[in-house]
Amino acid sequence: MKKPNVAILGATGAVGQEFLKLIEERKFPFDELKLLASKRSAGKKIDFMGKTYIVEEAKAESFENVQIALFAGGAASKTFAPEAVKRGAVVIDNSSAFRMDPAVPLIVPEVNPEAIKDHKGIIANPNCSTIIMLMALKPIYDQVKIKRIVVSTYQAVSGAGKEAIDELTNQTQAVLENRPVEANILPSASLPKHYQIAFNLIPHIDVFVEDDYTKEEMKMVNETRKILNDQTIAVSPTTVRVPVYRSHAESINLELYGPMSQAEAKAALSGFPGVIVQDNPAEMEYPMPLYSSNKDEVFVGRISEDKSIAHGLNLWVVGDQIRKGAALNALQIAEYMIEHKMV
């Protein structure tokens, strides 16, 4: 089998660096590798698998003779994805630019791999919170259709970039040392007002849109319906930034169309690839962000029947949003394409 030439756009960022770790860990097959970034990062040296790579400034011609282009996300996707496709590459994109485009498949490989074949050069990676949620919901949905989802997320600061990680550290130190706290990043550096995240929760991720939901919340609504190919599912999300470095957590309440017991839910989840059931309240065993960080799997616990409605379930779901919520999911799409000779 001929190995593909691979390009990583955004190679110096958190997701780009995670791509490199995973390519090595998973022995992802490639012939040539191009590391691309903005002009600001061009020229940086990255040692990878015994070789030193020079990061190149991303240009349209960078994608010549590239078969798989892994895009870490950001505004550059809109500019470079069409250029890469024009030159024969398949783009797997982590940005939100193409997710709701009807011509672009939105893929979680364990959930809807059959949609990959419909791509026209671009495949979209869903939002991290959507990926983590659907990994837990798909085995339930396959057995008993879901009528309504109420989800509250507890999202780590790394989802807002390295600057947010640094700010959490700096603010925590300032509070503990009784110094003034500076807030310049969250909810978003682009917004006119910022709040302390250390020892605090911020119920605001991305910008507010129609009906005072945030863009992050509406991603979970629209992407869930597209991935499951079910426009009837009602989704009520609240997304919250929490003072945790890495891994998102989600409290999920489901209303189903039919009965599913706690035991049946545990059995369905236990048999689903990429999911680990960690649910033993008697021994105080349940998923937590600290212990799911740098893990590939999505962890599910606190599984219980909701006694307030006829067919209800409660789940607590935790996953590393940089791995399964971003880089790993994209790489799994590429692996699926190679395995099924789509590249």
- Nearest in space to 328 (alpha carbons), one of 92, 38, 53, 137: 92
Q: What CA–CA distance (Å, rounded) separates 53 from 312?
A: 52
* Single-letter residue type at 122: I
Token pair for 343: 């590249």
- Nearest in space to 41 (alpha carbons), one of 12, 17, 14, 65: 12
Per the residue annotation, which of 119, 204, 248, 340 is the catalytic one?
248
| Known catalytic residue at 119 | no
Cβ atoms within 10 A of the Cβ of 54, count?
11
| Known catalytic residue at 194 | no
Are the CB atoms for 136 and 111 separated by under 8 Å? no
Q: Write the DSSP string, 22-34.
A: HHHHTT---S-EE
What counts of helices (H) and strands (E) characterise the chain? 8, 14
Which spans in 122-245 are helix H?
A: 128-143, 162-176, 215-228
DSSP conformational letter for 182: P
Are the CB atoms for 185 and 196 separated by under 8 Å? no
Are the CB atoms for 247 and 293 separated by under 8 Å? yes
- Nearest in space to 221 (alpha carbons), one of 210, 236, 208, 202: 236
- Residues in CB range of 238: below 8 A, 6 or more apart: 151, 152, 153, 203, 217
Per the residue annotation, which of 119, 128, 194, 204 is the catalytic one?
128
- Residues in CB range of 262: below 8 A, 6 or more apart: 303, 304, 305, 313
Q: What CA–CA distance (Å, rounded) separates 147 from 205?
A: 26
Q: What CA–CA distance (Å, rounded) separates 106 from 305?
A: 31
Are the CB atoms for 182 and 267 separated by under 8 Å? no
Catalytic residues: 128, 248
